[in-house]
Amino acid sequence: MRKPLVAANWKMNKNLNEVLDFAGEFSRKLPHGSVAKVDIVICPAFTHLAALTANSVLPGGVVVGGQDSHWEEKGAFTGCISPVMLKDLRVRYVIVGHSERRQYFSESSNMLAGKLTATLKAGLIPIFCVGEKLEERQTGRTFKVLEEQMTEALQFVPKELASDSSRFILAYEPVWAIGTGQNATPGQAQEAHKHLRGLLAWLWGAETAGQIRILYGGSVTPDNFAAIMACPDVDGGLVGGASLDAERFVKLIEIAAAR
Ligand code: PEP
C-alpha cells in the first residue's frame, strides 16, 4: 500500500507575514494524526524555507521542499541554490522539472538528469514532474512525450540512487491543466499514471515501480480531488493554487487521508 503524499507548490507567492499566517492557520486546522496517514510537503520560495523549518512553525511531521535546485554542489552559478544548501535548511524534498522551469528557464532533460542526481546524492527526495502540452495531447502524442521526458532524464541517473522507491516521487502534471482551472479527468489521469508506472517498471523493475508514488498535478481543488484520488495509480497531489489557502490545503489532505 502506497502512503498518499500531498505537496504544496507555492511558486513565487506569499511574503513572510503571509507564510507565517498560513503556518498558524494550517497548524490549527490540520486534524490530529494526519501525518500518519498522508505525507505532507510544503514548497515555499527559497527565502521562506528557514521560516517554515524553524521549530514548531509547522505541525510535527509536516516537511518542507524546494521548488528547484542546481545540479552542482557549489560553484560560479550566480543566483542558484544547491541541494546541499537546501539540506542545511532541513529541506527534505525538491521539485525537479516543473513545466514552468522547463518553459521559462529552458531546462533540458540533460539538466534535469543532473538535478535529479545531485538531489538524490544530497539525500533529498526529488519530485520529478513530467507532462504533455495541450497540442501534444490533441495530436495524440501524450504517451510519446511522457516516454521521452522519462527516459531522457532518468537514463542518466544512477539506478542505485533513484530506484529506492521511498526516495523518488514522480508527478504527472499535464501542462494544459496547470493553473488553468481545467483538471485532467480521472480517466485521463489514471491512463497517464498507469503508463508512467509501466515506464518505471521498464526502467527499474516491476517491484520498484509498484512502490513508487505518482502524484497528479493540475488544477486540483477540494471539489475534484476525491475522484482523482480514487484512481488506482494516483498516490497524491502536487498542488499550486489550492495550496495557498490553509483551509483548502487541509481539505485536500483530508481527502487523501480518506482514501
Ligand atoms: C503546479 O504548479 O504544480 C500546479 C499543479 O498548479 P495548480 O494546482 O495551480 O494547477
User: Of 152, 151, 96, which is closest to residue 125 (Cα–Cα)?
Assistant: 96
Which residue of 225, 238, 243 sits with most ligand 1 atoms within 8 Å of its CB, as the best mutation to test the pocket? 238
Give residue ranges with CB within 6 A of ligand 1.
9, 173, 178-179, 217-220, 238-242
| Residue 172, phi then psi, degrees to nearest 5 | -90, 115
126-175 pLDDT tens trace: 999 999 999 999 999 999 999 999 999 999 898 889 888 889 999 999 99
Which residue of 94, 134, 173, 225 sits with most ligand 1 atoms within 8 Å of its CB, as the best mutation to test the pocket? 173
Question: Helix, strand or coil for residue 208?
Answer: helix
What pLDDT is attached to residue 159?
85
81-98 pLDDT tens trace: 999 999 999 999 999 999
What pLDDT is attached to residue 209?
95
* Residues of the chain falling short of pLDDT 50: none
DSSP H helices, the chain, are 16-29, 34-37, 49-53, 83-88, 99-104, 109-121, 134-138, 142-154, 159-162, 186-204, 206-211, 225-229, 246-257
Question: Helix, strand or coil for residue 52?
Answer: helix
User: Of 121, 59, 125, which is closest to residue 91 (Cα–Cα)?
Assistant: 125
* Domain boundaries, given as residue ranges, for the chain: 5-257
What pLDDT is attached to residue 189?
98
What pLDDT is attached to residue 256?
98
Question: β-strand 236-239 against 39-43: which pairing, if any?
Answer: unpaired
Q: Which CATH class is domain 5-257?
A: alpha beta
If one counts every other C-beta atom within 10 angstroms of the C-beta of residue 105, the result is: 10
Ligand 1 centroid to Cα of residue 174, in Å, is 10
